[in-house]
């Protein structure tokens, strides 16, 4: 009882009557140790309530066993499932997770960059390209989420199949509901997801021999309000359309509101579809037809690729996660009771 300091590996060694090297070995399982000694060590650790100092291990071994997650901001329906996937996969792989919402890159770099982390997960553009270059220049493990690297640096990317998803949606509107004048509400300027969704939109039109009409493109900003305004604008201009692909679910809400307010019936007169399948999509009335992205899987996959990199293996340059059509009511498909049952098509 005399000493009050928390036990160190040396205390354990003394207690078990072995060297500290041996204790370290049973702790890490790096080298076989005689069974009886190993047992003594384990017992001693138990009795002394020994908890190894992480910092000391890192310093000595030069491996931090930690991965850093850098994101622009914590919010929205995207964030929670993605973090869930990342957290789970990271811990399964034996890594701890350091989370940094990037405001001051400098601070983040100091703590999350090289030396202090074994690898970095970077969501959208939360890190300056120059930093990306720097890290890449000495092969620091980095994986990008929902963002392609600048200037074709070969940094692995995980993203979702925006193009396919959008094409499925548009295809459905055309084939099942005979829509031909479909509005597309773009997301924020420079948003990669938006660009790909638009590409899917165009390709689907082409497949069905429907000409692209720039009058049908407006800016929805992936945002409720902005989409609301955009649709009001289109209506005011007297543009003729029979469906709206809102870019994402938030914008779909705004679009629906604007249409209803103007006295148009959704989906009888005009179909509205979103993208993302956020939790409340099913609770809208009419329930929203949209595309579901496997966000949690994106997180897991990102960690998987990152661990590869950290192990010196080769990682996939681009991983596109499949998206899935979620058909509800807002496209014009029939509601199946108030329960909002849904049909979904894999692709």
Partner DNA sequence: GGAGTTGTTGAAAGCGTTTTCAGAAAGCGC
Partner DNA sequence: GCGCTTTCTGAAAACGCTTTCAACAACTCC
Q: How far is CA 126 from its chain centroid?
A: 13
Q: In what order do the strands lie in the sheet with 243-245?
A: 217-219, 182-186, 243-245, 271-273
Euclidean distance between CA atoms 173 and 179, whole angstroms: 6
The residues that touch DNA, with contacts defined as CB under 7 A, are 5-6, 8-10, 18-25, 27-28, 30-34, 37, 50-53, 56-57, 59-63
Q: Measured from the CB atom, is 115 or 314 closer to a copy of itself?
A: 115
**Binding residues for a copy of itself, per CB under 8 A?**
6, 51-56, 58-59, 64, 73-77, 79-81, 83-84, 87-88, 91, 96-101, 103, 107, 109-111, 113-116, 253, 257, 260-261, 279-280, 283-285, 337-339
| Partner that binds at residue 330, options DNA, a copy of itself, none, CB closer than 5 to 8 Å by kind | none
Q: In the complex with DNA, which residue's Cβ is closer, 116 or 124?
A: 116
CA pair distance 143, 125, nearest whole angstrom? 12
- Residue 181 or residue 264: which is nearer to a copy of itself going by CB? 264
Residue (53 or 347) nearer to a copy of itself, CB: 53
What tokens were used for 82? 């993605």
74 binds, among a copy of itself, DNA, none (CB under 5 to 8 A by kind): a copy of itself
Shortest distance in whole angstroms from residue 48 CB to DNA: 10
229 binds, among a copy of itself, DNA, none (CB under 5 to 8 A by kind): none
CA angle 99, 304, 70 (to 5 degrees): 20
- Of the CA atoms within 13 Å of residue 21, those in its CB half-sphere come to 2
Q: Which is nearer to a copy of itself, 63 or 314 (CB)?
A: 63
Return the structure tokens found at 139.
């092969």
CB of 171 to a copy of itself, least distance (A): 27
In terms of CB distance, is 63 or 347 closer to a copy of itself? 63
For residue 63 the two structure tokens come to: 């491996």
Least distance from DNA to the Cβ atom of residue 23, Å = 7
Which of a copy of itself, DNA, none lies near 1, with the C-beta cut-off 5 to 8 A by kind?
none
The minimum distance between CB 93 and DNA, in angstroms, equals: 17
**Angle of helix 192-207 relative to helix 162-177, nearest 10 degrees?**
40
> Any residues with CB less than 8 A from the CB of 290 and at least 6 apart, and which?
169, 249, 252, 273, 274, 275, 276, 277, 281, 326, 328
| Contact partner at residue 30 from DNA, a copy of itself, none, CB < 5 to 8 Å by partner kind | DNA
Residue 189 Cα distances to 201, 218, 245, angstroms: 17, 12, 17
């Amino acid at each position: 009882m005399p000493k009050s300091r928390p036990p160190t590996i040396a205390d354990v060694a003394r207690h078990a009557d072995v060297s500290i090297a041996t204790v370290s070995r049973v702790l890490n399982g790096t080298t076989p140790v005689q069974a009886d000694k190993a047992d003594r060590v384990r017992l001693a650790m138990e009795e002394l309530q020994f908890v190894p100092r992480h910092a000391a291990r890192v310093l000595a071994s030069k491996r931090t066993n930690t991965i850093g997650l850098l994101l622009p901001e914590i919010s929205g329906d995207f964030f929670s499932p993605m973090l869930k996937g990342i957290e789970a996969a990271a811990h399964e792989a034996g890594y701890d997770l350091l989370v940094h919402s990037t405001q001051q890159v400098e601070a983040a770099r100091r703590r999350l960059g090289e030396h202090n982390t074994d690898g970095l997960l970077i969501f959208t553009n939360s890190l300056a390209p120059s930093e990306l270059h720097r890290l890449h220049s000495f092969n620091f493990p980095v994986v990008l989420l929902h963002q392609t690297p600048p200037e074709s640096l070969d940094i692995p990317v995980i993203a979702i199949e925006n193009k396919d998803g959008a094409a499925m949606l548009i295809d459905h509107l055309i084939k099942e509901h005979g829509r031909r004048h479909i509005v597309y509400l773009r997301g924020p300027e420079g948003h990669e997801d938006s660009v790909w969704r638009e590409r899917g939109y165009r390709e689907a039109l082409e497949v069905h021999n429907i000409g692209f009409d720039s009058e049908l493109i407006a800016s929805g900003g992936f945002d409720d309000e902005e989409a609301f305004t955009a649709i009001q604008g289109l209506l005011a201009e007297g543009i003729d359309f029979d469906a709206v692909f809102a870019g994402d679910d938030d914008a779909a809400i705004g679009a629906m509101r604007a249409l209803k307010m103007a006295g148009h019936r959704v989906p009888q007169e005009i179909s509205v579809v979103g993208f993302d399948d956020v939790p409340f999509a099913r609770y809208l009335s009419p329930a929203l037809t949209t595309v579901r992205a496997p966000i949690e899987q994106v997180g897991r996959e990102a960690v998987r690729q990152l661990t590869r990199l950290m192990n010196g293996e080769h990682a996939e340059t681009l991983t596109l996660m499949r998206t899935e059509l979620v058909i509800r009511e807002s496209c014009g498909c029939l509601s199946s009771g108030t329960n909002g049952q849904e049909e979904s098509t894999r692709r």
